[in-house]
Amino acid sequence: MNQYRNPVQVNVFPYRVNNGQIEFLLMRRLPHGGGFWQGVSGGVLLDEDVTLAAERELKEETGFQTEVQSLDFIYSYPIGEKDKPKYAPEVREVIEHAFVADVSGLGQVTLSREHDAFKWLRFADIDMKDLCWPENQEALKRAWKYIDSL
């Protein structure tokens, strides 16, 4: 069994239609996990399809079970010092695939043990500085453009 984490992740921005308005779900990681706001994010298991991983992470972190749509946005970021032991020594970056998911009418958010708060916000009300990384900001912008094109 491989002791190292697969250097592939998914990032899903769930959204809902509420009173005719599109709202995105942002969740706050626990303080020991960084305390930052994000969509659904998590690792892809070895030999797991990235779309299925995105759907699994969505269910694990929010309780929502639905299909996700790829945003055709793939990016990478360097592995931070504290996370290096999780990956094989030769791995220097993580590749992340961005998705969007319509969770309208699927009930209430059920947070996993990874988050301590959540909020639903219209795109215009999101302070992009709340999303720590420019790639997450770009993924959210692409999610908005994808929804706006429907």
| DSSP classification of residue 123 | G
The CATH number of whichever domain residue 98 belongs to comes to: 3.90.79.10
Query: Domain range spanning residue 39?
Result: 8-148
pLDDT over 60 at 79, yes or no: yes
Residue 143 contacts residue 13 (beta carbons within 8 Å): yes
Number of residues in the chain = 150
What pLDDT was estimated at residue 1? 55
Phi and psi angles of residue 148, each rounded to the nearest 5 degrees, phi first: -65, -25
Using the Cα atoms of residue 105, residue 128, residue 54 and residue 27 in order, give the sign of their dihedral.
Answer: negative
Q: How many domains does the chain have?
A: 1
- Domain assignment of residue 128, yes or no: yes
pLDDT over 90 at 2, yes or no: no
pLDDT over 90 at 8, yes or no: yes
CA-CA distance, 17 to 20, in Å (whole number)? 6
Q: What is the pTM of this model?
A: 0.94
- Domain assignment of residue 3, yes or no: no
- Domain assignment of residue 27, yes or no: yes
Q: Which residue, among 35, 54, 37, has the nearest Cα to 45 in the 3D structure?
A: 54
- Domain assignment of residue 113, yes or no: yes
- Domain assignment of residue 1, yes or no: no
pLDDT in tens, 91-137: 999 999 999 999 999 999 999 999 999 999 999 999 999 898 899 99
- Domain assignment of residue 22, yes or no: yes
CA-CA distance, 88 to 110, in Å (whole number)? 33
- Domain assignment of residue 2, yes or no: no
CA-CA distance, 15 to 7, in Å (whole number)? 26
